């Protein structure tokens, strides 16, 4: 069947000043022999749209070429029925706005753009999407920490059935081990109580969420829209889901590699161990002098080369509650830099107001034990001198290491887990596609893809869940999800 092509050339936005639109129109009608060719002073106006729409009905046009502005703009206006193929050729930004007005070259460039557009529509058809049968709208969330819980609640609130899988008996992840949370909202001065129990309750009360605790994934096979998941928690259960959000979280850096900072001595704890100690102690009696070593095994080429972005905030939090629990205490924080991202700077400034929290920038030269105390030798880079501080306890601000995704047990030739970057964070493209992994239909959220705090993990969970939903809906329509979102010709 012959194509019926309508060409519409806009003379608005100074196109008419730069290009002889009449001449361009004659080229379309005579040389290229299109069905209809019309010019208009503003194709994006109601009159311009009506002109095109009337021609579509009158001439039964099935291909429309808009020679006007960039195809990135006015997409909502130049949106006709599904059966009409619309090709936008950009004679505004790429010709009229960047070339000399009225020059022969300018006219020739516009003519070439129009010829290319006409040739293109004459040689392509509207792609027919491949629509698979039995697409599942259910979503699997892997990991029952704050990220997974938030993702599951968000997915269910959007109307999707969610299966959440946690290998531990209890939901909540690291938040179960925290004594207090860093203040994450204005005025950033008061530590927050742990909020996980309310979240777990909300999860349990949602009828669209099925919780699988003490459960492992034996295998995931299939494809977007049709992932077959085999779960095991004493009994085997098979579920089919349309997409997956993985939030398998993080673990602390292995402190046994930090003996040069005193680890191995019972008075030297990691930040995670210290948090648990305080949470679990009934008396909350703490030593009088406590020193924090920041970047313990982080930003160090022999250990973790990256910054975990969270451990400075954690030390500030721990220093705050030490001082609240034990007003006689002295806290020392030795840092390379204090990194409190965004508005956490407000919290840092609040902590600095306490005279008994002493900050200094320095490099740890060594840790020795002297009678009942620990002596920390520091090359103080602020005052340019060596100092020594005698304390009762040292807390190492260790960093975050991603847990990895091998537990997904993907039945793919390319491996059981998701492809990872240099430091084992899963990634597709950190900036353009933060939640996408290199497995379509499987999305990563939380500290699995980058070190992050609780507030960031929660917003990350929303982003990844949104992508999981988009994946299901795009699969139902037979469209690609990313990077060419909406493409039916893949
Ligand atoms: S915005 Fe586009 S369609 Fe509207 S007048 Fe300008 S070039 Fe024409
Ligand atoms: S957050 Fe602070 S302690 Fe942690 S790695 Fe970064 S600079 Fe070091």
In order, the DSSP letters of 68-94 are ES-TTSSTTTS---TTSEEEEEE-III
* Domain match, 364 and 270 both: yes
Distance 265 CA to ligand 2 centre (A): 23
**Ligand 2 pocket mutation, candidates 271, 362, 399, 400, criterion most atoms within 8 A of CB:** 399
Q: Ligand 2, atom 2: nearest CA belongs to which residue?
A: 312
Q: Report which ligand 2 atom has the smallest distance to the Cα of 299.
A: 5
Residue 132 scores a pLDDT above 90: no
Contacts of 332 (CB under 8 A, 6+ apart): 289, 290, 291, 292, 358, 360, 389, 391
CATH code at 39? Answer: 3.40.50.920
* Domain match, 179 and 236 both: yes
* Domain match, 193 and 243 both: yes
pLDDT for residue 30? 87
Q: Report which ligand 2 atom has the smallest distance to the Cα of 306.
A: 5
pLDDT for residue 8? 97
Which H or E run includes 6? strand 5-10
User: Rounded to an integer, what is the distance from CA 180 to the centroid of its chain?
Assistant: 26
Peptide bond into 431 cis (omega under 30): no
Helix (H/G/I), strand (E/B), else coil: 360: strand
Q: Ligand 1, atom 2: nearest CA belongs to which residue?
A: 69
From the CA of 14, the nearest ligand is 1
* 339 CB within 6 A, ligand 2: yes
Distance 337 CA to ligand 2 centre (A): 7
Rounded Cα gap, residues 334 and 188, in angstroms? 22
Residue 367 φ/ψ, nearest 5 degrees: -130, 125
Distance 405 CA to ligand 2 centre (A): 25
State which residues form the domain around 351.
252-400
* 399 CB within 6 A, ligand 2: yes
Say if strands 393-398 and 400-402 run parallel, antiparallel, or are unpaired.
unpaired
Distance 12 CA to ligand 1 centre (A): 5
Both structure tokens of 245: 């959000």
Residue whose structure tokens are 């998941």? 229
Q: Ligand 1, atom 4: nearest CA belongs to which residue?
A: 44
At 339, the pLDDT band (50, 70, 90 cuts) reads very high
Peptide bond into 293 cis (omega under 30): no
At 489, the pLDDT band (50, 70, 90 cuts) reads confident
Rounded Cα gap, residues 355 and 82, in angstroms? 68
Q: Looking at the domain assignment, is residue 214 inside a domain?
A: yes
DSSP letter for 212, please: E
Average pLDDT estimate for 451-459: 95
Distance 386 CA to ligand 2 centre (A): 22
Domain boundary among 94, 123, 152: 123
* Domain match, 57 and 172 both: no
Average pLDDT estimate for 208-215: 98
* Domain match, 322 and 373 both: yes
Total H helices, total E strands in the chain? 10, 21
- Report yes or no: 171 and 211 within 8 Å, Cβ to Cβ: yes
Contacts of 129 (CB under 8 A, 6+ apart): 477, 478, 479, 488
Per-residue model confidence as pLDDT tens digits over 312-325: 999 999 999 999 99
CATH code at 271? Answer: 3.50.50.60
Per-residue b/e over 182-206, b at no fewer than 16 CB within 10 Å? Answer: bbbeeebeebeebebeebbebbeeb
User: Rounded to an integer, what is the distance from CA 445 to the centroid of its chain?
Assistant: 6
ipTM above threshold 0.90: no
* 271 CB within 6 A, ligand 2: no
Contacts of 108 (CB under 8 A, 6+ apart): none
Average pLDDT estimate for 50-77: 95
Residue 481 scores a pLDDT above 90: no
- Report yes or no: 220 and 411 within 8 Å, Cβ to Cβ: yes
* Domain match, 364 and 443 both: no
* Ranges 207-211, 353-357, 369-373: which has the least confidence: 369-373
* Ranges 123-132, 214-223, 272-281, 366-375: which has the least confidence: 123-132
Distance 145 CA to ligand 2 centre (A): 23
* Domain match, 256 and 395 both: yes
Number of domains in the chain: 3
Distance 251 CA to ligand 2 centre (A): 16
* Domain match, 237 and 118 both: no
- 227 exposure class (CB count in 10 Å sphere: 0-12, 13-18, 19+): buried
* Domain match, 176 and 269 both: no
Quick count: other Cβ atoms within 10 Å of Cβ 465? 30
* 287 CB within 6 A, ligand 1: no
From the CA of 303, the nearest ligand is 2
Say if strands 393-398 and 385-391 run parallel, antiparallel, or are unpaired.
unpaired
Average pLDDT estimate for 296-324: 97
* 43 CB within 6 A, ligand 1: yes
Rounded Cα gap, residues 465 and 435, in angstroms? 9
Distance 81 CA to ligand 1 centre (A): 21
* 452 CB within 6 A, ligand 2: no
pLDDT for residue 129? 86
Distance 114 CA to ligand 1 centre (A): 16
Q: Ligand 2, atom 5: nearest CA belongs to which residue?
A: 307
**Ligand 1 pocket mutation, candidates 92, 94, 110, 113, criterion most atoms within 8 A of CB:** 92
Distance 312 CA to ligand 2 centre (A): 5
pLDDT for residue 351? 97
* Per-residue CA distances from 82 to 64, 72, 78, 147 (Å): 12, 19, 12, 38
* 361 CB within 6 A, ligand 2: no
Contacts of 403 (CB under 8 A, 6+ apart): 248, 249, 250, 251, 448
Domain boundary among 369, 400, 431: 400
Q: Ligand 2, atom 6: nearest CA belongs to which residue?
A: 307
* 74 CB within 6 A, ligand 1: yes
Q: Ligand 2, atom 8: nearest CA belongs to which residue?
A: 295
Domain boundary among 123, 149, 184: 123
Rounded Cα gap, residues 474 and 455, in angstroms? 29
């Amino acid at each position: 069947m012959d194509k019926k092509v309508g060409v519409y050339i806009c003379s608005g936005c100074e196109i008419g000043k730069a290009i002889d639109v009449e001449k361009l129109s004659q080229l379309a009608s005579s040389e290229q022999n299109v069905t209809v060719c019309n010019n208009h002073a503003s194709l994006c106006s109601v009159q311009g749209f009506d002109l095109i729409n009337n021609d579509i009905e009158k001439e039964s046009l099935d291909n429309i070429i808009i020679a006007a502005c960039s195809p990135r703009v006015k997409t909502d206006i130049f949106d006709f029925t599904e059966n009409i193929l619309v090709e936008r050729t950009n004679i505004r930004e790429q010709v009229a706005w960047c070339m000399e007005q009225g020059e022969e070259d300018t006219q020739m460039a516009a003519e070439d753009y129009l010829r290319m557009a006409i040739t293109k529509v004459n040689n392509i058809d509207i792609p027919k999407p491949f629509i698979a049968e039995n697409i599942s709208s259910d979503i699997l969330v892997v990991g029952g920490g704050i990220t997974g819980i938030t993702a599951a609640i968000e997915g269910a609130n959007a109307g999707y059935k969610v299966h959440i899988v946690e290998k531990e008996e209890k939901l909540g992840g690291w938040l179960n081990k925290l004594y207090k949370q860093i203040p994450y909202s204005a005025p950033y001065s008061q530590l927050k109580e742990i909020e996980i129990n309310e979240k777990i309750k909300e999860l349990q009360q949602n009828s669209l969420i099925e919780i699988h605790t003490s459960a492992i994934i034996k295998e995931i096979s299939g494809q977007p829209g049709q992932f077959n998941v085999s779960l095991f928690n004493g009994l085997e259960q098979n579920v089919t889901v349309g997409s997956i959000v993985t939030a398998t979280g993080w673990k602390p850096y292995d402190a046994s590699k930090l003996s040069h900072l005193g680890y191995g001595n019972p008075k030297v704890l990691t930040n995670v161990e210290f948090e648990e100690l305080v949470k679990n102690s009934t008396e909350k009696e703490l030593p009088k002098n406590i020193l924090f070593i920041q970047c313990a095994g982080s930003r160090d080429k022999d250990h973790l080369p990256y910054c975990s972005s969270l451990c400075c905030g954690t030390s500030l939090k721990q220093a705050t509650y030490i001082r609240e629990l034990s007003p006689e205490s002295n806290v020392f924080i030795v840092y390379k830099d204090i990194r409190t991202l965004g508005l956490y700077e407000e919290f840092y400034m609040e902590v600095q107001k306490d005279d008994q929290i002493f900050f200094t920038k320095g490099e740890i030269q060594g840790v020795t034990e002297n009678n009942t105390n620990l002596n920390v030798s520091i090359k103080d880079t602020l005052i340019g001198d060596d100092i020594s501080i005698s304390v009762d306890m040292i807390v190492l601000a260790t960093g975050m290491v991603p847990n990895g995704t091998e537990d997904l047990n993907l039945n793919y030739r390319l491996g059981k887990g998701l492809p990872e970057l240099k430091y084992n964070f899963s990634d597709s493209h950190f900036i353009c596609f933060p939640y996408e992994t290199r497995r379509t239909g499987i999305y990563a959220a939380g500290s699995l893809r980058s070190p992050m705090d609780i507030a960031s993990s929660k917003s990350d969970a929303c982003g990844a869940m949104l992508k999981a939903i988009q994946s299901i809906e795009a699969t139902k329509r037979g469209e690609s999800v990313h990077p060419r979102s909406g493409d039916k010709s893949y």
